């Protein structure tokens, strides 16, 4: 059971209702994570704004979702793993590609480099070496894309921490965590 109230979109205060309406428009429903975050209008605006900005960024939705499942698995976030696996499939990735991304792997060298870098940022708490940045650059990512990968990491850490810390009930098809 979640450790905070899940805000009912139908009864939401005016400070979060417009954002929850946008989320419902995007998903068809308001996922539980957003209902939990809606307890803070500032946090909800921040999270939703970041999703919107990064969703239209240089990396594209599919790579963003592959990064998200790798980070979710590393942080043992069942909610984000389930949600981003479904969103990755919607963005064009196969079930196998999402399963590989969950483990930080890809048969595509560019995607593999991005996942490796993102996981290194997570595991090393951003204390990556110049060689790590050069490796992702050598795979075809420019400075804009490298910064965007880090932004995806930050957003996914935020969502992972919310869902794990608050024990938000998963409302997407379940995906099993894999041993990292």
Task: Enumerate residues 6+ apart whose C-beta is below 8 A from 75.
Answer: 122, 156, 157, 160, 161, 164
Q: The pTM is what? A: 0.96
pLDDT digits (tens, 9 = 90+) for 4-17: 999 999 999 999 99
At residue 1, the pLDDT reads 81
Residue 180 has what pLDDT? 62
Count other Cβ atoms within 10 Å, centred on residue 165: 12
Nearest to 153 by CA among 110, 128, 101, 117: 117
What domains, with CATH codes, occur in the chain? 13-55 (no CATH), 60-166 (1.20.1290.10)
């Amino acid at each position: 059971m979640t450790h905070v109230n899940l805000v009912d979109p139908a009864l939401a205060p005016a400070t979060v209702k417009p954002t929850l309406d946008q989320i419902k428009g995007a998903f068809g429903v308001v996922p539980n994570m957003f209902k939990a975050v809606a307890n803070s209008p500032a946090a909800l605006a921040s999270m939703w704004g970041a999703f919107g900005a990064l969703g239209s960024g240089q990396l594209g939705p599919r790579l963003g979702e592959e990064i998200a499942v790798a980070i979710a698995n590393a942080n043992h976030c069942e909610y984000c793993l389930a949600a981003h696996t479904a969103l990755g499939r919607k963005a064009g990735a196969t079930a196998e590609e999402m399963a590989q991304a969950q483990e930080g792997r890809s048969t595509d060298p560019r995607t593999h480099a991005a996942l490796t870098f993102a996981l290194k940022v997570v595991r090393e708490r951003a204390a990556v070496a110049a060689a790590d940045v050069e490796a992702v650059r050598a795979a075809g990512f420019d400075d804009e894309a490298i910064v965007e990968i880090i932004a995806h990491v930050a957003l996914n850490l935020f969502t992972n921490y919310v869902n794990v810390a608050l024990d938000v009930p998963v409302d997407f098809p379940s995906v099993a965590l894999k041993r990292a």
